Amino acid sequence: MRHTHLTIHGRVVDFVVQLEIQIGDQWVPVIRYDTAHGFAHRDILHADGSVTKTPLFVGDYGEALTYAEGGLKSNWDLYRERFLRKMGAR
């Protein structure tokens, strides 16, 4: 899990939390929570290169960051298996 965040005066103003899996000698992003484009959202990165973007309707960026970390820690194996299964279907 890759995690970066920026705080100003104790408030989260930007973050990225991303699950990556190793395929061969390459690290591939599978799911990412971030604040790019001016709002907190989740990007599901598919094996075919497409991306599904879903807004997070969770309080402020600090709460969204906590939600993102918890979601990845709880579901990383599900996200990994789903990505690999769809990758095999190509």
Long-range interactions of 42-46: CB distance < 8 A, separation 24+: 42/68, 42/71, 44/79, 45/83, 46/83, 46/86
Q: Are 43 and 51 in contact (CB under 8 A)?
A: yes
Domain range annotation of the chain: 2-88
pLDDT of residue 89: 52
Over residues 29-73, the pLDDT tens digits come to 999 999 998 999 999 998 888 999 999 998 899 999 999 999 999
Query: Does the pLDDT at position 90 exceed 70?
Result: no
Looking only at the bridges linking them, the beta strands covering 51-55 and 41-45 are antiparallel
Is 88 a residue whose pLDDT tops 90? no
Q: Given this model, what pLDDT does residue 61 score?
A: 97
pTM for the full predicted model:
0.88
Residue 70: the pLDDT is 95
Q: Rg (Cα) of the chain, in Å, rounded?
A: 14
17-26 residue pLDDT tens: 999 999 889 9
